[in-house]
Structure 1
Amino acid sequence: MDSTVKDSTEQRPLSLDSAIHDLSAYMMVDPRKKYLGTLELAELLGIKHPVIREGADTKPWTLSTDRLIVYGPAGNCSRELSALAVGAKPNKKITPRERQLLSLERSYWQIRGVPWIFFTRELYDPRVSDLLRSAAAWAIDKEAGEESRAIAQAIHRLHQASPLYINLQRMASKLGSMELAQRAFWQSVWEEALSIDMRMGWNLNFPYPLLPLSDFRELNPITMRRSSWS
């Protein structure tokens, strides 16, 4: 939902040994400058590096970050790329060993100048998550087109007190199909042109009033860089 996102990868491996910057695949970096790998960092931090066993032999386990998000420049503010590393757990309760390894992961990104956040379920409203999952099929489907989105936006702004299913019917009447109406509406939400209150959850019988854009963005813990790490 962030138009500046250039790439987003899951389970990004962390280099065991010293290596050039992890963003070298996206931009020019100094090939002479090396950053510590997890083996050296673990030793510095006094953390036992995880290993994998193969019979009687052991070798270092390659750690990974749950998600690495790479951002392109926002408007004309900068030509530089930036990134955000995200560690995630289903809940906030972690064992002492898990905390050690998360500290190692955090340090790995810190020395590379990449912010790291620890993402748990406490950071977001489950009603928002439910709505996003339910609407994703239309939001990431083929482009509805600028004109169709403009029609959907105008109708919803004028009738935001109406239940959403009625507004979708109004859009479908103008656009020729409910399928196009759904794509036009949800793609408008995804690009922040319609900053609806997603805390209503997934219920088309409800109205979806518009929020100030700043409040809409507050619903996204990744955009706001919220973290459960302390």
Structure 2
Amino acid sequence: MRKGQRFTPAKLAKWGNIGRGLGTGPDYQPWHQVTRDDPSSRGRSHLLTWRFGRLHHLLSDLELVVFAFASMLPGVVDLREQFPLCHGEHLPELATYDAGVSGEACGTRQIADELGYLHPLARREKDVSLWVMTTDILLTLKNQKGTTELLAVSAKYGEELDAKRTRQLLHIEREYWHRQGVTWLLLTPDLYTKSVSTAIRIGMPFTLGQPDAAPDLIRDCSALASHLDGRTWRESLDLISCRFALDTQSAQCVLWQAIWSGQLPLDLGRMVRMTEPLKLISVANFWQQNPVASRRTSWSH
């Protein structure tokens, strides 16, 4: 934790007053942020940009990988990390995007009471306030029918689930979303293989860190599937560079973005190395490698 920085009722009130947790798209402000004025996270923090024109604040290596999995989903309208949960009754979170949604949803205080759990608190001497619980990633998705839906994702390392209090807090969070009809996933590293996460980390600089390639270019690259399957990464990049008159960096971006979107369904479990061959698989099997896309969860209660 950064020297002198503590979570206090005053700090939480300040964050609420300056609009943290509000907004959508480029205007959204995460509740927890990677700044000098914020208490640090336990793990390694990351700041990155993506398609919404703002910095995304991720508080661990695990959150980074989960963010990458989430970014691969088709129809992503918005991605809000470190999303704060309301204490009291409120409009369902989907109402932010769908004016036809009405009614009242339960807040964390009522849910904690009903489950028989103590709501987490922030303290500093005699000053006490309710802690603001958060969900690591909240996705807004537009499906093929044009309907908007939310998908909430929390990331935890497996050993964290051994703590009874951690499981209680996750239960509150799960109920918060479940009662709004929102799917909530608890992701731990045992839901995907290490080789897949390694491939994801290698591909991120060419996808999340770059402008989107033209859709026609991605489609034309994907049409080369039969020529790329079994070729080494170096041979594949040479082919793409030659076919589309691209430099190596641009060819890597096009190749990885075609993979990222599932249009070029790569076996991510194979080693990513210039001398290793690409192995293409079915689209269904490709998405099964992604625990967010396949809706896998480590939650059991």
TM-score clears 0.5: yes
Verify the 8 A CA contact 2:160 2:166 in the aligned structure 1. Answer: no
Work out the CA distance in 1 between the residues paired with 2:119 and 2:138.
22
- Select the residue among 21, 39, 54 that pairs with 2:124: 54
- Greater CA drift, 56-65 or 152-161: 152-161
1:15/1:159 CA distance change after superposition, 3 Å: closer
Work out the CA distance in 1 between the residues paired with 2:96 and 2:139.
13
Is it true that 1:99 corresponds to 2:170 in the alignment? no
Q: Which amino acid aligns with 1:12?
A: F
Number of the residue aligned with 1:80: 147
Work out the CA distance in 2 between the residues paired with 1:29 and 1:58.
37
Q: CA deviation at 1:210?
A: 0.9
Is it true that 1:28 corresponds to 2:103 in the alignment? no
Superposed CA deviations along residues 113-151 of structure 1, whole A, max 9, x for unmatched, are 111111100001121111122122222422333454345
Number of the residue aligned with 1:142: 211
- Flag the structure with more relative contact order, 1 or 2, with Cα contacts below 8 A and sequence separation at least 6: 1
Verify the 8 A CA contact 1:152 1:181 in the aligned structure 2. Answer: no
Is it true that 1:13 corresponds to 2:109 in the alignment? no
Work out the CA distance in 2 between the residues paired with 1:82 and 1:6.
10
**What 5-or-longer segments of structure 1 have no aligned partner?**
none
**What 5-or-longer segments of structure 2 have no aligned partner?**
1-71
1:53/1:179 CA distance change after superposition, 3 Å: same
Is it true that 1:192 corresponds to 2:262 in the alignment? yes
Verify the 8 A CA contact 1:151 1:171 in the aligned structure 2. Answer: no
Q: Which amino acid aligns with 1:9?
A: R
Q: Which amino acid aligns with 1:83?
A: L
Q: Which amino acid aligns with 1:121?
A: P
Work out the CA distance in 1 between the residues paired with 2:135 and 2:249.
37
Q: Which amino acid aligns with 2:112?
A: A
Verify the 8 A CA contact 2:94 2:101 in the aligned structure 1. Answer: no
The alignment's TM-score, normalised by the length of structure 1, stands at: 0.91
Q: CA deviation at 1:154?
A: 4.0
Q: Percent identity?
A: 29
State the aligned residue count. Answer: 226
1:44/1:143 CA distance change after superposition, 3 Å: closer
Work out the CA distance in 2 between the residues paired with 1:173 and 1:69.
37
Number of the residue aligned with 1:133: 201
Q: CA deviation at 1:201?
A: 3.3
Q: CA deviation at 1:26?
A: 1.2
Work out the CA distance in 1 between the residues paired with 2:89 and 2:278.
51
Higher Cα radius of gyration = 1
The alignment's TM-score, normalised by the length of structure 2, stands at: 0.71
Is it true that 1:178 corresponds to 2:245 in the alignment? no
Q: Which amino acid aligns with 1:11?
A: Q
Q: Which amino acid aligns with 1:17?
A: G
Number of the residue aligned with 2:188: 120
1:211/1:30 CA distance change after superposition, 3 Å: closer
1:116/1:143 CA distance change after superposition, 3 Å: closer
